[in-house]
Structure 1
Amino acid sequence: MINLIASRVDEAWALLREVLDPEVPAVSIVELGIVREVRDDGDTLTVVLTPTYSGCPATEAIEADVRKALLAFEPVKIELQRSPAWTTDWIGPEAREKLRAYGIAPPTGTSAVEQPLRLHEAIPCPRCGSARSERLSAFGSTACKALYRCTACREPFEYFKPI
């Protein structure tokens, strides 16, 4: 029985690794650290998610995508866990590189609690690599990103803000 439970949970994790973040489709919700736990609670598969922001508008879309990915496991229960709060520290090196390749500068350093974003911090351009950049807006296409422009290649880019 234990092997069946473990393989069911493992299979669910594998499926969740294919669920892309709706706002940043270069990375999965697992790679972003949004999926915190998958449990087999007998008849129900429980998925614990920690939204990136407590008011993140993509949370409902993520829940729907999780349900769709795990249709074979019905019933599926989704729990939102807001403590501990999500942090960009949960984004691994491979996911940070995927963000960069997608054209979004990954968060620098550690979380904003330990190293706050300075108003005029130079963020390396994800396209040319130059550290010569300027912030155009504190917010990009979503609240979790800021809008920058590289002063070397002149290309605009978004920066995933550390939190």
Structure 2
Amino acid sequence: MSQIAPQRPPEQRSQLLESEQAALWTALDELTDPEIPVVTLREMGILRDLRRGADGRVEVVITPTYSGCPAMDQIADDIQATLAREGVAGRVVTQLAPAWTTDWMTPEARAKLRDYGIAPPHTAAACGPGESVIQFAPKSGAGRADGSGATARFGMPTLPVACPQCGSLNTTETSHFGSTACKALYRCLDCMEPFDHFKRI
């Protein structure tokens, strides 16, 4: 009579993932944002967790940057392809709560955005209370004459956006929607270069 191999106890099955995590994270760290290819999913804060599900399969947890983001299907496909290439049976789990925020971006992501010509979002520390929600309605007015670049939205002052080309704060928003819904189009009034600004969420 053939012998049946003993099943690993649950604690050993969970420990198996611990030994795989370093290799899997390294492989997943190669995946970049389809819309901003200079930053990785992990740097953007989209890649949230790597765990083993109750059925023993690896789960990669992602959180979309905003509802309806068209890049999420491509991101999920890229992750599945990476897992398959690593010989891992896994799935992608989309987690909506807590909601993604630009505060999850790493300093490396912000620096890469700036080098790529995109003004990164302001940090929570820079904004303070009351400046943490993305605005989808366009604001009126241009940069202030004092060169600060600060404008007002619904009577609330907003922080100036530094030009990623020359660093000037003398900038103005020309369109509330840039190349994607999460970015706004700005123009520098000093070097006159247009640029995208990643809105703070």
Normalised to the residue count of structure 1, the TM-score between the two structures is 0.91
Mapping 1:29-48, distance limit 5 Å? 29-41=41-53, 43-48=56-61
Counterpart of 1:148 in structure 2 is: 186
Q: Which residue of 2 aligns with 1:66?
A: 79
Q: Which residue of 2 aligns with 1:12?
A: 24
* CA shift for structure 1 position 3: 5.9
User: Aligned-pair distance for 1:44?
Assistant: 1.4
3-state SS of paired residue (1:70): helix
Q: Match of 1:76, as an amino acid?
A: G
- The corresponding residue for 1:130 is 168
Select the residue among 43, 60, 65 that pairs with 1:52: 65
| Unaligned stretches of 5+ residues in structure 2 | 1-11, 140-150, 152-157
The 8 Å contact of residues 31 and 92 in structure 1, kept in 2 or not, is answered as yes
Q: TM-score, normalised by structure 2?
A: 0.75
Question: What is the Cα deviation at residue 74 of structure 1?
Answer: 3.3
Equivalences for residues 38-117 of structure 1 within 5 A: 38-41=50-53, 43-71=56-84, 72-110=86-124, 114-115=130-131
RMSD: 2.1
Distance apart, 1:112 and its partner CA = 9.5
The residue matched to 1:79 in structure 2 has which SS? strand
The number of residue pairs the alignment matches comes to: 163
Cα distance in 2, alignment partners of residues 113 and 75 from structure 1: 43
Higher RCO (CA < 8 A, seq sep 6+)? 1
SS of 2:97 mapped into structure 1: coil
User: Residues 37 and 148 (structure 1 numbering): CA distance in 2 closer, same or farther, change over 3 Å?
Assistant: same
Q: Structure 1: any 5+ residue segments left out of the alignment? A: none
Q: What percent identity do the matched residue pairs reach? A: 46
Aligned amino acid, residue 136 of structure 1: T
* Partner SS for 2:24: helix
Deviates more, 1:64-73 or 1:130-139: 64-73
Letter matched to residue 122 of structure 2? T
Query: Aligned partners of 1:49, 1:70: CA distance in 2, in Å?
Result: 14
Question: What whole-Å deviation, never above 9, does each CA across 1:20-55 have from its counterpart, x for those lacking one?
Answer: 000111100000000110013464110010000111
